[in-house]
A and B are shown apart, each in its own frame.
Chain A
Amino acid sequence: MSKNWPLWEVFVRSKNGLEHRHFGSLHAADAEMALENARDVYTRRNEGVSIWVVESKNITASNPENNGEMFEPAQDKIYRHPTFYDLPDEVKHM
């Protein structure tokens, strides 16, 4: 049955205030079923307060073959991290 069903990606918000995080994927015939399946597969142990599902084909992903040009140029640009400031002791949680 599920061989003919499209694949969906499931995002779950664990607590109010936190962002939705990718939990995994599953098969479902339509969006409503994907939500119900996600509820049963991923939140049966009280893992979430909100679920998003999106059909996997709608996600545009970067190609791992292009990782060189996509990500490596950022590796030697440490000045893009704000680590060159002297922070006063009073500033916490930075």
Chain B
Amino acid sequence: MNNNLYKYILGIADNSLILGQRLGELCGHGPSLETDIACTNISLDLFGQVRSYYQYAAKITGNGKSEDDIAMLRKEREYVNVLLVEQPNTDFAYTIGRQFLFDVYHLLFLNELQKSNDLMLSAIAVKSIKEVSYHQRFSSDWVKRLGDGTAESHQKMQDAIDGLWTYTDELFHQTDADKIIVSEGIGVDVTNLKETYYSKVSELLQEATLKTPESKWFQKGGKEGIHTEHLGYLLSDLQYMQRTYPNMEW
């Protein structure tokens, strides 16, 4: 088994799984019927992508593990998603801010991943790009509306961006496994995406009449399995059915 490739795939898939679960929490609880459906649609897009990644990862393990085992039965420290995606739905501005800050990265990342010399990862990227392009359009439009909306929506959107900013730098960190997979022409060198990311984000924030935070102090740890206090609660929701009724199926 190619352990580095396995870890690399989890690094991509866990981001989408955890963000998808966060968005799924809004099902039936969105601020309006329309945004409720939009957020859960995005959640389902992400879960669809996640299945392809985990199926591939399961195949690589070669030990009979299924996609569900990987998605549902790991412990908190074994999840390697970035801290950004596990942050809670504090309010709608946070939900949108988190989505926007991830979508810009996600689209840049997939655009590079489609050039991977691993045909499976390349194919998943090609398929996902259309979905994620829409996600970015949706979240960007909302950042603009809230930023350039009323004084209250402006303040809430700025608070969300300020609060989430500290989790953005981690998107461009590399684990040891990442570096090896990049050197093999399979993975994406995320350090190359950083400059474009921040310039795209700043440009949109400016359009939304929001300030780009100046703070240079960033959180990290997710990619090594060290998470914020929020992930455990999310996982207990996510894993409840599989842990209570092992091997249950729909």
Chain A residues with CB under 8 Å of chain B are 1-2, 5, 26-30, 32-33, 36-37, 39-41, 44
Contacts and interface: CB of A to CB of B under 8 A. Distances in A.
A16 to B, nearest CB: 19
A2 B31 CA distance: 8
A69 to B, nearest CB: 38
B145 interface: yes
B137 to A, nearest CB: 7
Contacts of A41: 33-34, 37
B28 to A, nearest CB: 15
Contacts of B33: 2, 26-27, 41
Interface in B18-44: 31-35, 37-38, 41
Report, nearest first, the 8 A-B pairs whose CB atoms are least far apart: A2-B32, A37-B34, A40-B38, A1-B31, A40-B37, A1-B32, A40-B41, A41-B37
Contacts of A36: 38, 137-138, 141
Nearest to A32: B141
A26 B34 contact: yes
Contacts of B41: 40, 44
B145 A40 contact: no
Given A29-B145, A32-B141, A36-B138, A2 B37 contact: no
Interface size class of B (residues with CB under 8 A): 10 to 19
Contacts of A39: 134
Contacts of A28: 34
A26 to B, nearest CB: 6
Interface in B22-77: 31-35, 37-38, 41
A39 B92 CA distance: 20
A87 to B, nearest CB: 49
A1 B31 CA distance: 7
A44 B145 contact: no
A40 B42 CA distance: 9
A84 B38 CA distance: 53
A44 B138 contact: no
Contacts of A30: 145
B39 to A, nearest CB: 9
A29 B153 CA distance: 13
B99 to A, nearest CB: 13
Contacts of A27: 32-34
